[in-house]
Chain A
């Protein structure tokens, strides 16, 4: 399994790679007495794909919601292109950060094309009067929006289904449509919340290609995912969130090799291990059988690396 982490050539219009576009500093989110996210720092450079992993309940989605203005962080601030992001989610989208949702949230009873057109909302201005009076400007804007939306559907491979109802699409295509809808707002940074959840390996692979293609358009991507192969193939950097705190951040190799990450996912051995006695018995038996020199800890670590 090769890990492809080299940054491909970015599109010409994109900002120079390496400049930080998203800068979250000390983001803390408390719900009453519960601290869901605690002092997390995270940066995303332009043209970068950053992964965010962590066990269930680690606060990944809460952190996403803080970034996109659905929650207002209790402490800390989020800057996008050196401006503090506003605390309203629609303003965040207008500023250039778009997102998808963990549990797909399409407009089910609108057509596929209309869903993408809704995504164009922030990039068009035609209001109520324009719609009622229907001047030439309205028709021009509407036509441009439709063209752009169809382009995006072409990009994600849904152009043939533009007239279908969103709710009738198969699961994988709904995910794609959600990405197309987010892209329609012309973001500089795309936040994907578990884009491959529930997908089969082929679909996951296709999503991977899609994310690379999005990056090649010059859009930075921050992605939450549980599929480790997907994350380590895709991401330039990976951050691990455990119990609301950032454990480690670095390239795939660093993160994969880190013992604390392994422990966070599988749990640490307890201090006075209740199963220790049995384990020791088994160990002894194994040792007698194999008469090898391997210690148990080594085997465990080795297994972990196989993942």
Chain B
């Protein structure tokens, strides 16, 4: 069989969910249960095709397949659109379609009672389609279009329960904050377009320009472009200082948090940096920025995660922190580490979110202080959630350990300070996961709480993801750099460091142990820290007052500006409009008074007009 047989049909992968979206939007509310199945089946077809492509590419050295067509021709300028299938995009295809399919399946249970279930599935299908399009794009222009599309879907889904004011506000916040990043990306793309030889925006040319003719674009401009692209990634991937939208986005339905705000869309920023990595590599400043922002975000979000009480918010800050790890990996030059962590993180974080959704579905609260002892009643959820927590905490041999290990190794190679920061963040990660897990599942059940295990349509995805969270790390271990070689055959770095493995496993276990002592055994008092340093705890619980700061610095002034512009609009613009309208109607009233049906008035008008006419003509003659 031809080595690119399935790859040639890769364009079908985003098409299936798009058809589902079109059908669901057209048929609308008529299909409740059927609508859900349409979305699920479409994502299943995408998954099957993606697996076929992956199988084909795994079976041997299949060549990269790309297909382009001319999209817009303006004079000599030609814009092309197309897709390309490489090992990198195949990996993303599999991750996205797999998580999307499982989330679709899960939502059948989770959203069962919702009125607008078919709308929900339509949005999910649109999101899946755009995300797959983004993954397959072979140039930055279509990439950007899909990038915005996933942003829109995120907005729609965060605000899905728009009856809740918090959800509405969160949707707006998500959209506006990511917009700030998108603006940076847009400017970066325009600069790139301007400076690239031949105005090409496709990744292949980009690679060639920076690989072979590294002088085509000056270093200063390269740094600027790289930083602007990174601003886009910061917005989408919730890095500091644009991380504020991601925790608020948890107002959306939980399956959405799993799909969009944990596994796929937020990883798009990382994916963007990976795809344009040649630009970053050409600029040391940009690389350092990426590394520092990533490391800072990792530890910053991890500390906030320690003090939150909302189960989904803890996971959201954890996502921010893990995305920081990926950025850190990119900043220290380990693309493999970033992609590997993206890959494992997609599974275990989706698992954790879906597990949290299962808990929320059962106890109808998101506050972990109101939960407890759920482990006995929700066995499957508890077990799978536990596996996910172990993976996230970086306990060997779960997947998170291996991917975090790859990042830590790379960090130690380049910059020991970053390594220390990342290790501390890893400790906090284990600690907050232990707190979360033990508070929710261990201890005595609360009175009056009727928790029961969720239906199998919700637990099956959990089990599948739990298996993946456990084993997916073995594709790239210090003993076996398979993933790196598969993704980047030319320049796969592959380091192993026993020290890093020991340290990373040790901090993970230490975090879990302290968590266990605090929240199960009670050897360490829970409020040991809050008693001694109440200010510190408040500071962390209030998320370092970032939201308040932004409110004072940006939101208020902008609202003031908005008010001024509103007044301007009301009085100046509308004034002119009203003047025109009133003037016309006054003229009309005058004319209609003339049309009084009084023949004598007509005659008088005619007389006056003639007099005026005569005077005018005579006057012209004399002056």
Do A and B actually bind? no
